[in-house]
Structure formats: C-alpha cells, structure tokens
Amino acid sequence: MKPRTFGVEEELLLVDPDGGGPRAVSGAVLRFAREHGGVPLAGSGNAGLLETEFQREQLETCTLPCSSLDELSEQIRGVRQAASVAAAGVGAAVAAVATCPLEVHPSLTPSRRYERMAGEYRLTADEQLTCGCHVHVNVESPDEGVAVLDRIRPWLPPLLALTANSPFWQGTDSGYESWRQQVWGRWPSSGPTELFGSAEGYRATVGSLLATGALLDEGMVYFDARLSRHYPTVEIRVADVCLNVSDAVLTAALVRALVDTAARAWRAGEEPDAVRTDLLRLAMWRASRSGLDGELVHPLAHRAVPAREALDALLVHVAEALERYGDLETAERLLGRVLEEGTGARRQRSVYDRTGEMSEVVADAVRRTAAS
C-alpha cells in the first residue's frame, strides 16, 4: 500500500492590523494577489492556494497533497505567508483564530449560492463567521473511505479539544474553549453520524438528507467527517483553525494515522464501535466546553476522564500508523508541547487576562500567524 497523502485547508480571519476589528476585504485581497502575482490562487496548480469563503471577513488557504510532515509544515507556512502578503497589500492582516474576539457583523461573500443560504438559514447564516481546519487524507476507494468514517467516529472529539482556539465571541468570553463548534453546530447536517456500513449506505444517507429539502445541495452535508465530493479523500472537519502551525501539523499527523489505522482494521475484518450518535454528540460538546483543561469522554470506555488520559489513548491507538510513517517521535513531541503549553484558546485568554483588551488578543494572533 502506498503512503497516504494528506493536505490541510485553513480558514483565516481578515482583520485591521491596528485596531484588530474584522475587515470585509477578501475580494480585494484576491484581486491584489491576481494583479501583483507571486501569491498563488486556487486553481493555479501551486502549493499556496487562496480562495474566498462564506463571509468576506475570511480567507481560505489550502495545501497540495503532501507525503511527509516536513512537506506539510512547509506548505502551511507558505500559504499563511501568502495570505499575509496578499492581505497586507490591501491594508489588512490575517489571524489564525477560529472566532472573532471583537464584535462583528459579517458581510456575505457575493455568490448566488451563498445568498440562497443566507435567505434560507437566516440568523444561522448571518452569524456564521468561524474558521476551521479541515484535513484531507487519501483513500483507495469510496468503500475504504466509508469504512474509515465508521471507525474514526469516537476519536474525533479529542481532536477538537486539541485544537480549541475560539474562546471569545462578540467581545465576550463564551466560557467554551471552542465556541466555533457551537456556532457551526447550528447547521442542520452538522455533527457526528451513524454507521454507514458501505459506500452505498453513505450515498443513501446523503440522498435521504437532500430529499428532506432542509439542505440546499450536497455541499451542505456538514458531517464531522465525510467523503470529499471532489477528491479521493476523506475530509475530517472538526478542528478549529490552529494558532500555531505545529498544532496544525500535529492534527494532520494524528488524522492520517487515524485513517490508516481504521482502514487496516476494516481490511482485517474488525467491526467498528457501534457507539450511539447521541453519546458522540455529548463527547463533542464536552471537548468544545473544556478543551484540554478539564475532562473528556474516553474514546473507548465512553466515560469522563482527564483530558490527558483521552489524548494518551488516542496516541496509543494510532502509534503503529505513526511509526510506519516515521511520525511517532514528532507527534509525541508536539503533543507533549500542547499538553504543557496549552491550546490557542488558553493563549488567547492569557493575553486578555494580561492586557484586558480584545484588540490585543487579535494583535497577538496576527503576530503569531505572520511569524509562521
């Protein structure tokens, strides 16, 4: 079996470099990039890809498929730098935060599809300014992909806890480590899924959802993990955008190892854990609420345990896959650092506690994003 390639999509917040307020300038950023060159755009075939997102205060970046953590790290740093250069060209900056700490009234990106979504989902769409990190991992077939989706379900909440980077919302502390997950959860198809059993079962589920009329199109199938519509990959969508590149690299390493572990279990005839979806939803809520600073639901025992114990279980579960890719030592080191220093949410709160200013939280995030 060939080594699985993987890639990362990150959504970044566009802000005023001085006051920290959000800037609705994504279209201008892309125009600057197009007119001045040197900043790759989506579809250009280059490593650093930039694109607009649902709101004009966002910019999406993505890497090309990578084979190693070093390659992935270099590409993430490259696309963040490309985004910073393009934003600076129109007097803005980018911040790798998953919600805006300051008050914001988002501006919809001009698009017929987005306008339909805004009309149908009203306040859910109006307030939907969140930035995630999506990891794509190559699979050999839709059947393998669905087998992976069925087997990684209980392991996704610890990934959210590990990447929590959205404690503030509209100028206040939400009390959550990842408020993005709560906001994103308003979409009708978001969250964990039941077992699909096969590619046919997956397609039948998607068809049933579309038949309800509650979704405008298949692009709105916002499962925590899904088959990509455009690439031969599974797409894991639970993570907040990470403040630090190293956290994004760690997340991608763990996700690729989860996919590889699940695919091998499927080929060996091992059945997936039939844990109930309502329990998985509670596990995701717990991860959103406490991050790494409280308890999580253990992915195997399905009971409350200290966060470190749940993360240790994840590492043990994927250790063989990490070893096969030569990633185990790096993953152990990066995980140890996050457990010691804390998530982006902890960093944001520490800046606010020190300064008392949400604008300083944004400024710190801008500096750390540019320093990537």
Q: 1 lies in a domain? A: no
Q: 243 lies in a domain? A: yes
Q: 342 lies in a domain? A: yes
In the chain, the number of structural domains is: 1
What tokens appear for 265 in the block? 């279990």
Q: 43 lies in a domain? A: yes
Q: 214 lies in a domain? A: yes
Q: What is the pLDDT of residue 371?
A: 81
pLDDT above 90 (res 115): yes
Mean pLDDT score, 298-306:
98
Q: Which residue has the tokens 């944001």?
A: 348
End-to-end alpha carbon distance in the chain: 33
Percent of the chain with pLDDT over 90: 93
Please report, for the domain that includes residue 108, its CATH number: 3.30.590.20
C-alpha closest to that of 335 among 263, 224, 244, 261: 244
What angle (nearest 5°) sits at the alpha carbon of residue 44, between those of residues 41 and 49?
40
Question: In the structure, what pLDDT confidence band is assigned to residue 1 with cuts at 50, 70 and 90?
Answer: low
CA dihedral 340, 342, 346, 351 (to 10 degrees): 60
Q: What is the pLDDT of residue 185?
A: 96
- Distance between CA atoms of residues 252 and 70, nearest Å: 12
pLDDT above 70 (res 155): yes
Reduce the DSSP state of residue 150 to 3 states and report it: helix
Question: In the structure, what pLDDT confidence band is assigned to residue 36 with cuts at 50, 70 and 90?
Answer: confident
Q: What is the pLDDT of residue 40?
A: 55
Q: 62 lies in a domain? A: yes
Tell me how crowded residue 335 is: count the other CB atoms within 10 A of its CB: 20
Per-residue pLDDT reduced to its tens digit, 170-192: 999 999 999 999 999 999 999 99
Mean pLDDT score, 279-292:
98
pLDDT above 90 (res 345): yes
Do 360 and 347 meet the contact criterion of CB atoms below 8 Å apart? no
What tokens appear for 126 in the block? 């109006």
Percent of the chain with pLDDT over 70: 97
Q: Give the chain's mean pLDDT.
A: 95
Mean pLDDT score, 259-271:
98
Q: What is the pLDDT of residue 34?
A: 87
Q: What is the pLDDT of residue 43?
A: 47
Per-residue pLDDT reduced to its tens digit, 242-255: 999 999 999 999 99
Q: What is the pLDDT of residue 49?
A: 85
Q: Give one word for 48, left, alpha or beta, with left for phi > 0 and alpha for psi -120 to 50.
A: beta
Question: In the structure, what pLDDT confidence band is assigned to residue 323 with cuts at 50, 70 and 90?
Answer: very high
Q: 47 lies in a domain? A: yes
Residue numbers of the domain that contains 54: 6-371
Question: In the structure, what pLDDT confidence band is assigned to residue 39 with cuts at 50, 70 and 90?
Answer: low
Which pTM does this prediction carry? 0.95
pLDDT above 70 (res 46): no
Question: In the structure, what pLDDT confidence band is assigned to residue 349 with cuts at 50, 70 and 90?
Answer: very high
pLDDT above 70 (res 92): yes
Tell me how crowded residue 75 is: count the other CB atoms within 10 A of its CB: 21
Per-residue pLDDT reduced to its tens digit, 201-237: 999 999 999 999 999 999 999 999 999 998 999 999 9
Q: What is the pLDDT of residue 221?
A: 97
